[in-house]
Chain A
């Protein structure tokens, strides 16, 4: 099997109301991306989109998606993301406004995962400041502890061994 270098775009889908995140599914994301790439980069963009772009992971609770694409084409795909304004499905615009915030570009899924863990921790810290009640604070603290330093450390060690294993 031929192996290709990949890039993983870690994006956050931002919507005005959090509960509309529930509407997200991988197919909707894929279609939205495809339409955006086609608009921005035409048939050439669509052709490159058709090879090697897929949605690897979607967290409908936090709105985080992993998009995998060929290393050679990731700039083209990435540059189409800012033009997304709505979710689309099979060419039809759904009534969900959104934008894609690309927070990390990585060479392996591991590095992206590591980044995501850190990023989520940061978000928790920020939430901690916004908490109004003690119960909420407690809740967030527990969440922070669950993604403890130990866990992340172990992941880091794994990561260095297996870094860039996607190279041919």
Chain B
């Protein structure tokens, strides 16, 4: 049981576009979203961008539909790697809550599953997966708590990409048996977002079981966040205080409990 999350909303320089997507996400019932910064070192030498501070996007975060809490926004970095040199974990990576890699070759896929310090491995959705998934690396990734990300926007945009998405996802499911999958949108506009229950249902088309499909938009995403936090806090040795967010709550709480005591006395 966990809140619904969409860990892939494509970053845009157009702030209005971004806010409208995040507002839609909140309206559809997602409690957490991640803005995805994609860099492709292959195409051009790209600096690792500095993520926006999420508080710049909204003065007041939109409330999640049917809840009393505002939506939580995270930053995610995705590196499209076609060569081993493309993935260099530097301090720049640490500015992001989540780090993902999209390996283009079998060798890199193996490395990503077994060694790379990442939270998410992306699966091809707009083209045929150029290699077969093998059990050893996939199991390795599962053991390390790394998750595979399937984004569904390509499947909404175009018929042939839809075939690739379904085919690649089905292939992956046959190997990973539905474990460690997250389904995210990869949306670039708000009409490409779909509700969490819709995605849980779509998971069945990708070959997931009902429970695994719902986990792919909820509990598995939470595991990814925890993995991201442990990566940031030196393999989880210091993991007692969750986030400043909880601290605030505790501080807020104190006067209330005092008040309560005085009243009951």
Contacts and interface: CB of A to CB of B under 8 A. Distances in A.
Interface in B164-181: 164-167, 170-171, 174-175
A157 interface: no
Given A1-B134, A43-B166, A50-B167, 7 more contacts: A1-B132, A2-B134, A4-B174, A43-B159, A47-B162, A48-B167, A50-B164
A1 B134 CA distance: 6
Contact of B170 (A1, A2, A43, A47): A47
Contacts of B135: 2
A51 interface: yes
A31 to B, nearest CB: 15
A83 interface: no
A44 B159 CA distance: 10
B167 A51 contact: yes
B133 A47 contact: no
A125 to B, nearest CB: 43
A46 interface: yes
Contacts, number: 33
B205 interface: yes
Interface residues of B, number: 17
Interface in A17-51: 43-44, 46-48, 50-51
A5 to B, nearest CB: 10
Interface of A: 1-2, 4, 43-44, 46-48, 50-51
Nearest to A73: B170
B128 interface: yes
B50 to A, nearest CB: 39
Nearest to B205: A44
Contacts of A1: 132, 134
Given A2-B134, A43-B166, A50 B174 contact: no
6 shortest A-B CB distances, which residue pairs? A47-B166, A47-B167, A47-B163, A50-B167, A43-B162, A46-B163
B163 A51 contact: no
B171 A51 contact: yes
B212 to A, nearest CB: 16
Given A1-B134, A43-B159, A46-B163, A51 B170 contact: yes
